[in-house]
């Protein structure tokens, strides 16, 4: 789960990391009042959406007086912000964060993620942070300092001393950097985050560090332990179909292709998507109807897949382990009974009672249902039909 910058900064402060004073608002009329109460002579007006790259796309603007604050607030609130991370459809801005402006001397990047091969959280630091961090990572990855932190030892001063020296910081700056790194590590482990990023981490004219931007992603599987964090969820920022699917215990992720996929089990769903790609197609979604899929979940799955106008064909790939294939076959027929599905549905059912299932589907005589007993052949046919080919 992702949260907004203003929420992430609230959490940073709780872990001892300084951020500029600021306040969130969704009312453009209120913006100059908010800025006035924050004080100072310069403000940053920042679009609050769950995507980065706002700075380069007009979602972060600096104001030098209250009139400018008001103008920027009006321009940003309600705009459809398109950044490299939102996709071409963009994201509607419903909230802005107004914060006291900072005079930047240097921009660093500071982040923590899990390094699966090292089996440890890794702290990442770059002397060149800010809006060009992707470029640094792509072109000069050596500049990014990575420090694996053994969770049995935790983050210690020596970790940061080494990194600080590499960054060319003096003793006092290293001490301050430690406060940031420690806070980041404690937040990451304490709140079960999967990514915590401060970019830019800024060195100010006064020689102090301050977190100018914050991004936190949480591990959904641990949210039950952190009600406060779970309450920060903003459904407006999430794909509505994904939220709807979640209510029925389905995991659905919308993608950009035209082959709708309905699969049971995350591993088989990934495999199905891989095979579709391998034969030259593009999956429209990831959908795991669960290991114990029922007729109801299958019906809901169809509804969600069909809501995506890009879908030209549906590929059902279900392995009957816990679930019996004949039940699924009946579920498919029930799901499409009475609906006007006029796209091909390729069904590959294998496992318990697969022959009975195929018999049921054949008997139904629905011309849109095509059975296949092989994953690769089924995928190939789906891709061919999605591209406008003949059966």
Where on the chain is the footprint of ligand GDP (CB under 6 A)?
44, 46, 52-55, 60, 62, 101-102, 104, 107, 130-131, 199-200, 212-213
CA distance 182 to 199: 16
CA distance 143 to 148: 16
Task: Please say if 337 is a catalytic residue.
Answer: no
User: Which lies closer to ligand GDP via its Cβ, residue 217 or residue 255?
Assistant: 217
Contact partner, 197, from Mn ion, ligand GDP, none, Cβ < 5-8 Å per class: none
Residues linked to residue 44 through DSSP beta bridges, in sequence order: 62, 99
User: Which lies closer to ligand GDP via its Cβ, residue 102 or residue 169?
Assistant: 102
Q: Using CB under 5 A, pick the residue from 32, 199, 272, 353 that binds Mn ion.
A: 199
User: Which lies closer to Mn ion via its Cβ, residue 111 or residue 320?
Assistant: 111
Based on the shown chain and the rule CB under 5 A, indicate whether residue 83 belongs to the binding site for Mn ion: no
Shortest gap between Cβ of 252 and ligand GDP (angstroms)? 27
Based on the shown chain and the rule CB under 5 A, indicate whether residue 57 belongs to the binding site for Mn ion: no
Shortest gap between Cβ of 110 and ligand GDP (angstroms)? 12
Q: Which of 301, 297, 293, 287 is nearest to 319 (CA)?
A: 293
CA distance 326 to 356: 6
* Annotated active-site residue in 6, 97, 109, 178: 109
Shortest gap between Cβ of 213 and ligand GDP (angstroms)? 3
Contact partner, 53, from ligand GDP, Mn ion, none, Cβ < 5-8 Å per class: ligand GDP
User: Which lies closer to Mn ion via its Cβ, residue 90 or residue 249?
Assistant: 90
**Residue 61 burial by Cβ neighbours in a 10 Å radius (0-12, 13-18, 19+):** buried
Contact partner, 76, from Mn ion, ligand GDP, none, Cβ < 5-8 Å per class: none
Stretch that binds Mn ion, among 66-74, 198-206, 221-229, 245-253 (CB under 5 A): 198-206
Task: Please say if 206 is a catalytic residue.
Answer: no
Q: Mention every residue, 6+ apart, whose C-beta is less than 8 A from residue 301.
A: 245, 250, 252, 262, 287, 289, 335
CA distances, 2 to each of 18, 216, 233, 332 (Å): 21, 6, 7, 34
Q: Mention every residue, 6+ apart, whose C-beta is less than 8 A from residue 331.
A: 293, 294, 295, 296, 298, 299
Helices 354-364 and 325-336, interaxial angle, to 10°? 20
Interface mask toward Mn ion for 348-367; x: CB under 5 A: --------------------
Contact partner, 318, from Mn ion, ligand GDP, none, Cβ < 5-8 Å per class: none
CA distance 285 to 266: 12
Please identify the residue of the shown chain whose CB is closest to the bound ligand GDP. Answer: 55
Contact partner, 104, from ligand GDP, Mn ion, none, Cβ < 5-8 Å per class: ligand GDP
Q: Which of 108, 136, 123, 112 is nearest to 202 (CA)?
A: 108
CA distance 97 to 6: 6
Contact partner, 102, from ligand GDP, Mn ion, none, Cβ < 5-8 Å per class: ligand GDP
User: Which lies closer to ligand GDP via its Cβ, residue 131 or residue 255?
Assistant: 131
What tokens does 167 get?
A: 């960054």
Task: Please report where in the chains the tokens 């009312």 appear, as a residue.
Answer: 27
User: Which lies closer to Mn ion via its Cβ, residue 197 or residue 326?
Assistant: 197
Phi, psi of 188 (to 5 degrees): -55, -50
Based on the shown chain and the rule CB under 5 A, indicate whether residue 48 belongs to the binding site for Mn ion: no
Long-range contacts: 147-156, Cβ < 8 Å, 24+?
147/122, 147/123, 148/115, 148/118, 148/120, 148/121, 148/122, 148/123, 149/120, 149/121, 149/122, 149/123, 149/185, 150/120, 151/120, 151/121, 151/189, 154/185, 155/123, 155/181, 155/182, 155/185, 155/186
* Annotated active-site residue in 107, 197, 237, 252: 197
User: Which lies closer to ligand GDP via its Cβ, residue 14 or residue 56?
Assistant: 56
Q: Using CB under 5 A, pick the residue from 213, 237, 288, 326 that binds Mn ion.
A: 213
User: Which lies closer to ligand GDP via its Cβ, residue 86 or residue 372?
Assistant: 86
What tokens does 342 get?
A: 């006029």
Known catalytic residues? 109, 197
Interface contacts to Mn ion, rule CB under 5 A = 199, 213
């Amino acid at each position: 789960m992702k949260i907004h910058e203003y929420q992430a900064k609230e959490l940073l402060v709780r872990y001892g990391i300084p951020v500029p004073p600021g306040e969130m608002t969704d009312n453009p009329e209120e913006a100059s009042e908010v800025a006035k109460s924050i004080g100072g002579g310069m403000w940053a007006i920042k679009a609050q959406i769950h995507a980065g790259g706002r700075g380069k796309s007009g979602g972060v603007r600096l104001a030098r007086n209250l009139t400018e604050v008001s103008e920027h607030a009006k321009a940003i609130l309600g705009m459809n912000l398109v950044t490299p991370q939102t996709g071409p459809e963009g994201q509607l801005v419903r909230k802005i964060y107004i914060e006291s402006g900072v005079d930047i001397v240097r921009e660093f990047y500071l982040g923590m993620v899990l390094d699966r091969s090292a089996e440890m959280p890794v702290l990442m630091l770059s002397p060149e942070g800010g809006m060009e961090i992707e470029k640094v990572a792509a072109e000069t990855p050596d500049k990014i300092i990575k420090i694996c932190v053994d969770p049995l030892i935790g983050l210690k001063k020596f970790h940061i001393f080494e990194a600080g020296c590499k960054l060319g910081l003096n003793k006092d700056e290293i001490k301050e950097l430690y406060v940031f790194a420690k806070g980041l590590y404690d937040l990451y482990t304490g709140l079960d985050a999967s990514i915590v990023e401060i970019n830019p981490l800024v060195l100010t004219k006064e020689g102090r560090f301050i977190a100018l931007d914050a991004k936190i992603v949480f591990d959904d599987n641990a949210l039950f332990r952190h009600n406060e964090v779970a309450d920060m969820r903003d459904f407006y920022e999430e794909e509505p179909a994904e939220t709807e699917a979640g209510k029925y215990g389905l995991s659905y992720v919308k993608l950009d292709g035209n082959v709708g996929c309905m699969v049971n089990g995350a591993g088989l769903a990934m495999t199905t998507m891989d095979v579709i790609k391998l034969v030259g197609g593009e999956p429209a979604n990831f959908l795991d109807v669960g290991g114990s899929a029922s007729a109801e979940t299958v019906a809901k799955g169809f509804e969600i897949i069909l809501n995506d106008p890009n879908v030209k064909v549906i590929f059902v790939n279900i392995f009957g382990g816990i679930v019996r294939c004949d039940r699924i076959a009946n579920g498919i027929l029930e799901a499409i009974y009475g609906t006007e599905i006029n796209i091909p549905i390729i069904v590959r059912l294998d496992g318990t009672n697969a022959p009975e299932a195929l018999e049921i589907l054949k008997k139904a005589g629905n011309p849109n249902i095509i059975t296949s007993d092989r994953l690769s052949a089924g995928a190939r046919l789906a891709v061919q039909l999605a591209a406008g080919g003949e059966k």
